[in-house]
Amino acid sequence: MSLPELLVGPGTAAVLRTVLARYRTRRPLVVATDRALRSIDAERALAGLDWWAFSDFTSNPRLDQVVEGCRARELRQPDLILGVGGGSAMDVAKAVRLLPADPAAALAGLLGDADRFVAESLPLILVSTTAGSGSEVTGFATMYDGGHKHSLDHPRVGAETTIVDPYLMASCPHDVTTSGLFDAVSHAVESYWSRRATDASRALAREALALLSPLLGESLKDPCLELRERLIAGALAAGRAIAITRTTAAHAFAYALTIRFGIPHGVACMLNLRWLLDYNRDRSDGPSRAVIDEVVHLLGPAEGRMTGVIAGHLRRHAWPAELSGYGVGPADLADLVAAGMGVRGRAGNNPVDLDRDSVCRALAAVL
């Protein structure tokens, strides 16, 4: 996947009209919630265009919702897809551009059958209203089907142009801002120690952590423009890093926490870093141990076990640091471990092997 054209900075949302004109857009399909449409003043920004909005999706979107978006594409016959919002909206827009409108064929495409993709991809423009997911710069989109997480991962998924304007994030709720920060930190950490890491990906992850780690100690209840810009820059660097490496076990074990217990995705990743940082460090040696030690150093000065450090970051931003704070109990651990181990592409990308019993004990320690 080639990187999208990135238009980043205060006020860049104002160039949306110019970007649409460059693509000679007349009939865009806009994937966005009502709130996201208001954030860009869609009536003004899209005035004169025969546009239609698809908003029938939720956070952590489901495949059936994506299929409805694909049906809207078939019905409306747009000449461009515009995704506006956070990671969920951007992921839906990316999937709607590529998947067929038939549920069985869409599932087959999601599972890797590229022959099921639509023959020609419409141009895709993304306008981000949050920071953290990295969806702006990746060639994959996440969705759920039957309680199982799937990732649509293909070079044709990514956008041609992405607009990232910190002004659009000024009204972002505190829980969304902090969950996005945690997601971006997890991306950078996991990319750095990934088995697929390269010199280029580690440079991006290092850049991301240099920007993001200080934010873990900041109050983000009403972040100033400078802090929003730092979060955006760090999240984009982390997103570009995982575009190369993909994520690892923190994400693998996060999906079930999100779908079964409603834990926001970035928070679920951070809860897994509570046990995973020490788990990986304790079981590595030689070059892999050096890499994990570098990750710990990049997260900032800390003494002792990382589980306490990560717990402190969660609490500082008003999130419970224990799984029990989200309704997870001892009886849930076996299923959570099985679900995480079942996400083989991510779990298998972890820098050390995952032992089912050891993982279960590690999760029990953060209950």
- The pLDDT value recorded for residue 171 is 85
Q: Which of 81, 185, 62 is nearest to 133 (CA)?
A: 185
Average pLDDT of the segment spanning 315-319: 97
Average pLDDT of the segment spanning 188-199: 98
pLDDT at 2 over 70: no
Average pLDDT of the segment spanning 41-68: 96
What are the chain's domains? 5-169 (3.40.50.1970), 183-364 (1.20.1090.10)
- The pLDDT value recorded for residue 304 is 78
Helix (H, G, I), strand (E, B) or coil at 152: strand
Percent of the chain residues past pLDDT 90, beyond the cut: 93
Average pLDDT of the segment spanning 231-259: 97
Q: What is the DSSP letter of 178?
A: H
pLDDT at 1 over 60: no
Strands (E) in the chain, as ranges, are 5-8, 28-31, 52-54, 80-85, 124-128, 140-145, 148-153, 161-164
Least confident of 138-142, 144-148, 195-199, 322-326: 144-148
- The pLDDT value recorded for residue 138 is 94
Mean pLDDT, rounded, of the chain? 95
pLDDT tens, position by position, 65-91: 999 999 999 999 999 999 999 999 999
Average pLDDT of the segment spanning 247-257: 97
Q: Tokens representing 168?
A: 């659009």
Q: Is the dihedral of CA 152, 158, 164, 168 positive or negative?
A: negative
- The pLDDT value recorded for residue 110 is 92
pLDDT at 50 over 60: yes
pLDDT at 303 over 80: no
Average pLDDT of the segment spanning 104-114: 93
pLDDT at 179 over 60: yes
- The pLDDT value recorded for residue 146 is 85
Q: Which of 339, 351, 228, 230 is nearest to 286 (CA)?
A: 351
